[in-house]
Amino acid sequence: MGHGHAHGHGHPHGAAGGGRQGRALAVALAANAGYTLLQVVVGLLAGSVALLADAGHNLSDVLALGVALGAHALAARPAAGRHTFGFRRAEVLAALVNAVSIVAVAAVIAVEAVRRLDDPPDVPGAWLALVAAGGIVVNLGSAWLIHRAAGPGADLNMRASFLHLVGDAAASLGVLVAGLLVLGLGWDLADPVIALGIAVLVLVTAWGVLRDCVLVLLESAPAGVDPDEIGRALAGVAGVEEVHDLHVWSIASDFPALAAHVVVADGCDPRAVRRALARVLHDRFGITHTTLQVEGRPPRLLVPGDAPAHPPAGTG
């Protein structure tokens, strides 16, 4: 019987790249937090639920950037003591809390917007348009900064931050349209109607994050990974007779792991088979953290009354 444990802990970026990405996240976080506070103040003074809705959406981005920055710092800490996987799941737990809070904010915004549909207040369209235009600049500028710092092959953490910022720019564009409609047409309903649209956008975004967090915490197979396909691929490696107790899960959103028992044919080198299995998992499925227990098939034990498979010569 042989036991193999093959794993990889390669960091997605070097020290210089990691520092550059951390600075980009910190700048984007500060810019968006300041802009969100401005939106809240102006939204309350102007009585604009659309502006407050966009502030709620930007709050989701601020929380996401904070999680990304925290996860970026924790990912650099080595595994030690009781934390044998390091602190990779901290980002999942924080994202789960953020997603739940974002859903609550979106629900409050939606209820307030529906209430104002019957009696829309007078909203200063100029303030809406001016603050929303600033939001487009802040969000697109932050998105560009993160995209440039991440470079090609950006990890999931940086890609998610980039997409959040682009989504915020789109929401600010919606508020800008509401302000122009109020200014040009005097259509006060534009404010609550667009607020409802932004609330739906926030809910859809939060739902995706919430679903992914729950799947990771339930140790489901990562998205796009079929355990049955992996089992067939491993069983097709030369010398493998059987694959069982196959488990595929995620330590974090971008950290898949696998464990399996593999039975090999008599005469095969368990170490060579394990190396071949690890290559298949890396090349075909992108899984580098694997625990593979490679063992020979146990001999068949005869019980009283069983006839031997091959009777001794000269009998009968």
Q: Which residues contact 315 (CB under 8 A, 6 or more apart)?
A: none
Based on the domain organization, do 55 and 109 belong to the same domain?
yes
133: CATH: 1.20.1510.10
Based on the domain organization, do 181 and 41 belong to the same domain?
yes
In a domain, 92, yes or no: yes
Whole-angstrom distance, CA of residue 38 vs CA of residue 281: 49
Based on the domain organization, do 115 and 234 belong to the same domain?
no
Based on the domain organization, do 264 and 193 belong to the same domain?
no
Strand runs labelled E in the chain: 2-6, 240-252, 255-264, 289-296
Tell me how many degrees the CA angle 225-228-232 measures, rounded to the nearest 5: 115
Locus of tokens 């939106």? 39
Based on the domain organization, do 160 and 124 belong to the same domain?
yes
Based on the domain organization, do 228 and 194 belong to the same domain?
no
In a domain, 161, yes or no: yes
Based on the domain organization, do 36 and 162 belong to the same domain?
yes
Locus of tokens 């036991």? 3
Q: Is this prediction's pTM over 0.75?
A: no
Based on the domain organization, do 113 and 35 belong to the same domain?
yes
Task: Note the pLDDT tens digit of each residue in 216-245.
Answer: 888 889 888 899 999 999 999 999 999 999
pLDDT beyond 50 at 314: no
Task: Note the pLDDT tens digit of each residue in 170-225.
Answer: 777 777 777 787 777 777 777 778 778 877 877 887 787 788 888 888 888 988 88
Q: In 10 A of CB 242, how many CB atoms?
A: 13
- Segments forming the whole domain that contains residue 253: 222-296
